[in-house]
Structure 1
Amino acid sequence: MLKRCILKLVFGSYLITVIKSTSEKSKIVEGELALPKQFPHQVSLQHLQNGPNCTAHFCGGSIIDEWHIITAAHCIFDGSQNKYRFKSITIVAGIIDLLNQTSAVYRDVQFTFMPHAYTLNAFNQLENQEDDIAILKLRDPLPLGSHPFIGAVKLPAPNQCLFKKRDSVNQKGVMSGFGSTNNDDLMGFSGGPLYDDKNNILMGIISSSGYHPFGMNECGIYTVCTRVSFYLDFINQVLANSIALSDSTILTSELSRFNSIYYANRHVCNAY
């Protein structure tokens, strides 16, 4: 059954759209299964679990060009342990169902970039996650323009906000992520987009919901998003490949090489 508080969903196999009201409490008020081609910029971030020999979705992300994915920093870096979460990451694009790989495109992540300040922000302060943004550079480009289910999202203008008035409750922003409409918890929305669907502009990156960084929350508890327009300088530096070696404000890491085709031959762990 479709829940009224759609952020009370567990990660599953389907891409779910979430409509976010801008009332003072910012409740998630409704959601529905996504349609093919509805969110071509949405990707699934996955890692390999060697024990059960399956792949696990752990966060969402958005395509900003053929080489780059934007997501949340906490998806790739564990601040409480001061280390990266995974040695290799593969993104899966072109799908709305993790169990249906017909249109899936797999790409390995080669480099990760995030503000160095994020590692200094005491990650366990979940109610104030500053600088929770990261960019992933792929080893091989995505087929933008030639794949019917893959597209890029636009970046906002400097200081652009989705909502012009705090008390406006009629404007809506869309969140999307992989989940299931018949369960009571949510995981896997982190790193996904809050965007202006009318203009295809990425306004925010889902950082946390309630008191859990990976998105589990109770109905009515706020959802925190990182405002993308505030980080345009960081984003443009990465996209232009113009990060100076002496630049200590951006933390760069190279991940291990992994054959992403291997993911296509493995089932997705715990997908409903």
Structure 2
Amino acid sequence: MDTTHAFETINFATFTDLLKQYPDVVPEKLTDLDIQRYSIIPSNAKTRLEENDNDVYISKAELETLMKWKLTHGKFRPQLSKLIAENSESAVRETTSMAAKLFLSKTNSDTTPSQSDYKTAITTLTSLRGVGPATASLILSCLPDTKAPFFSDELYRWAFFSATGSGKGDVGWERKLKYSLVEYLDLVEKVVELKERLGRQGVIVTSVEIEKVAYVIGKRASGLAEASQKDGREKKRKEGPASSPSEKKAAPRSSSKRPKTETQIMQSSEKQAEEPRATRRSTRNK
């Protein structure tokens, strides 16, 4: 990845330009889910915080919507939606409320949650069926005044683009994720570093904005890769199937010999007729 778009070196001008591209990159059919995820659900949570004596929670219907948004933006795993549906309304409300109280009590506009705060909140939320660290981070990112980043594929791969993976080819946009708590805590540190670096330039960026920029960069890169693969397939189709060296060797040779003349046939017959006589003479000599 070039330094202009690299996580460690991107500047605010480039960041802002990419952020503006987000609406054009997201498929139009996902617009309604985006409005729910980025506007309506966070607004509902903020209203509850203000009206219910700091008791903020996410409802089961909202959790189901967040899961639907997550699956349409990333890898589709329908089983997760079924597991989410198995949670009771009271379990979702009580668990999200508990995590929110633990998390929001340690954060405000002037402080950053600690690794311990994140760990406690994520562990609490993952007690719900179908909720792993990634979905738990999505819930936290919808809370009022939160600094929690969503554990998305694009954000993690962008943040650790050049880091060495655990296997061959496990780098860049091909990096394999375990979606573990450890990976999320590492991602949180990277996001904090980016905020601080851009902050020294006199600007403030949010976790949601970083998430959107990562989505744009990731989808643009994915589109270029798909276009390149398509061009390659089209080129091969036009060129036609190429014979491998082994196939060429196995191909039958064309017969270019001229037919034998009558004289050649006679000479060959005479030679064959003499060979038995020569063999008999040789036998008698022995």
| TM-score, with structure 2 as normaliser | 0.27
| TM-score, with structure 1 as normaliser | 0.28
Larger strand proportion of the pair: 1
The structure with the largest alpha-carbon Rg is: 2
Q: Relative CO higher for 1 or 2, CA cutoff 8 Å, sep ≥ 6?
A: 1
